[in-house]
């Protein structure tokens, strides 16, 4: 099982689709476009941060259980990133101490239960997508979700920069299994076929080193 991580607009869903097709396996996507809470959060972050994160946590727990139960799958985001978002929102004053306590206890219980529910300890590989603010913003503008656009909400500029900074430490602290990074400023795996093939070769090599892919 492969899990992807990275910023909003980094290209996780696109690479998930590319990898699933390349490896002949199933893709699991995060629920975004039909997420009923996400637009509410962007409209009123302080009111809906806790509800949004519980919604995501529940969906991510269900997805990774299903993915870990099978032999081969790719997830475009996983439960391992969940706390990063909520703790940052809490530090921004968007969640109460009680909400943080409830969230942390629930996440801890889920992480303890996961190996028993899925009969596997952790993903075989984490692929973290590294991207600059300008490149991320170009991707966000291209896909056109109104609630993600900084021109519609100036507070998103600080939010995105804060999240970018925190991802560096999050990746360093990730300890559940093998991990690697892909530079999304260097490789345009969505629109450039040569870049796509280069990225797939890099990932294949890593999987072969881990003996999770035949040579």
Our answer to whether residue 76 is catalytic in this structure is yes
State the binding site for ATP. Answer: 6-14
> Helix, strand, coil shares of the chain as percentages rounded to 5?
60, 10, 30
The DSSP line for 149-185 is -TTT-THHHHHHHHHHHHHHHHHHH--SS-EEEEETT
State the binding site. Answer: 6-14, 30, 42, 53, 77, 82, 148
CA angle (202, 205, 208) in 5-degree steps: 155
Q: How far from chain centre, in Å, is Cα 131?
A: 13
Q: Rounded to an integer, what distance in angstroms lies between the CA atom of residue 43 and that of residue 49? A: 11
- From the CB of residue 77, how many other CB atoms can be counted at a distance below 10 Å? 24
Q: 33, 34, 76, 124: which one is catalytic?
A: 76
Query: So which residues are the catalytic ones?
Result: 76
């Amino acid at each position: 099982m492969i899990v992807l991580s990275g910023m909003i607009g980094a290209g996780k869903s696109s690479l998930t689709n590319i990898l699933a097709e390349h490896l002949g396996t199933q893709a699991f996507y995060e629920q975004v476009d039909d997420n009923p809470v996400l637009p509410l959060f962007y409209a009123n972050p302080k009111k809906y941060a806790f509800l949004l994160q519980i919604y995501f946590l529940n969906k991510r727990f269900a997805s990774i259980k299903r993915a870990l139960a099978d032999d081969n799958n790719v997830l475009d985001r996983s439960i391992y990133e969940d706390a990063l978002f909520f703790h940052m929102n809490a530090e921004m004053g968007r969640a109460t101490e009680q909400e943080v306590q409830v969230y942390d206890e629930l996440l801890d219980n889920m992480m303890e239960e996961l190996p028993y529910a899925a009969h596997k300890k952790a993903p075989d590989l984490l692929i973290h997508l590294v991207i600059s603010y300008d490149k991320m913003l170009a991707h966000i503008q291209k896909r056109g979700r109104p609630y993600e656009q900084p021109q519609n909400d100036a507070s998103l500029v600080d939010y995105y920069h804060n999240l970018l900074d925190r991802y560096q430490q999050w990746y360093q602290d990730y300890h559940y299994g093998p991990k690697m990074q892909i530079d999304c400023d260097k490789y345009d795996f969505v629109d450039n076929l040569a870049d796509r093939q280069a990225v797939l070769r890099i990932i294949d090599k890593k999987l072969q080193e881990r003996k999770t892919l035949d040579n």
